[in-house]
Structure 1
Amino acid sequence: MNPGVRRLSFQLGRAYDRQGTNQDAYHAYKRAADLGSAAAKVNIGILYQQGRRFERSDAKARLWFRDAAEMGLAEGMYCYATALDNGIGGRPDGAAARGWYIKAAQLGTLKARDALVRLDIDGPGTGARCD
């Protein structure tokens, strides 16, 4: 893996993303993801979830979030938890969401702590968002 190319590809994806050229953003993020960038996987998941000028697929978003979570990225853990919590791309799973929220919170993700409190109070379907 070449971390310089990975970082450059990720930054190029961000630039395209800001311009709203989401197909180009996807390709740049995909290259970064293929080189091991968990952050690029989160951003690909967000592209699929939002579907603006891009294919909308909650199921694909959930898979990308899961991959980033399993790589140990706190933001990936949070995004995967929101998908599990809110039934994005599959059935809701409050127990699994709780586990991923806890992992993300342990890594310092404050929004994961907030979502965990809402999950404890209201159950699955907290409306927590990854974007």
Structure 2
Amino acid sequence: MRAGVAIPACRAAIAQAPALRRLHFQLGRAYDRQGANQDAYLAYRRAADLGSAAAKVNIGILYHQGRRFEKNDGKARAWFRDAAESGFPEGMYCYATALDNGIGGMADAQGARAWYAKAAERGTAKARAALVRLEIDGTGTGARCD
């Protein structure tokens, strides 16, 4: 993605169709690629407010990574949970990684197992792999959402 080209194109598209969450999400991705994390957050937030579970995952990642943005694992975990509860497989996986690795709260093997299983049922291969590691090693598998 060429962020310098994508940002004005996304803005122009949003001016034409401001209620399309996909456009706000793509604008967030362009800002994210550029390293403009506060702008990425605002665009993702608008997409999330319009119902984008993918945007919720990306907001969680921004909070978890804290690159030129507020680092807050509690908020990351909450955004991942919201995306998971909406039925989005990547959100399920990310929430499971937070539960597995104690990101933003206590580790929860039972919860991690349940969410990894839900994500795996929906075809998320990395969730199947993490589920196996969780069964063998217990919590703290190091599975990552990013």
Structure 1 length-normalised TM? 0.97
Gaps of 5+ in 1: none
| AA of the residue aligned to 2:62 | L
Deviation at 1:21, TM superposition (A): 0.2
Deviation at 1:96, TM superposition (A): 0.4
| Residues 19, 50 of structure 2: 8 Å contact kept | no
Instruction: List aligned pairs for 1:1-131, cutoff 5 A.
Output: 5-131=20-146
The root-mean-square deviation of aligned C-alpha atoms, in Å, is 1.2
Structure 2 length-normalised TM? 0.87
**Structure 1 Cα separation of the partners of residues 36 and 65 of structure 2:** 13
Moved more, 99-108 or 4-13: 4-13
- Structure with larger RCO (C-alpha < 8 A, sep 6+): 1
Gaps of 5+ in 2: 1-16
Moved over 6 A (4+): none
Q: Which is greater in Rg?
A: 2
State the SS of the aligned residue for 1:80.
Answer: helix
**Structure 2 Cα separation of the partners of residues 54 and 90 of structure 1:** 20
**Structure 2 Cα separation of the partners of residues 111 and 32 of structure 1:** 25
Deviation at 1:3, TM superposition (A): 8.7
| Residues 99, 107 of structure 2: 8 Å contact kept | yes
Deviation at 1:4, TM superposition (A): 5.3
Deviation at 1:5, TM superposition (A): 2.2
Aligned residue pairs total 130
Q: Deviations over 1:18-64 (max 9, x none)?
A: 00000000000000000000000000000000000000000000000
Q: Deviations over 1:105-126 (max 9, x none)?
A: 0000000000000000000110
**Structure 1 Cα separation of the partners of residues 64 and 106 of structure 2:** 15
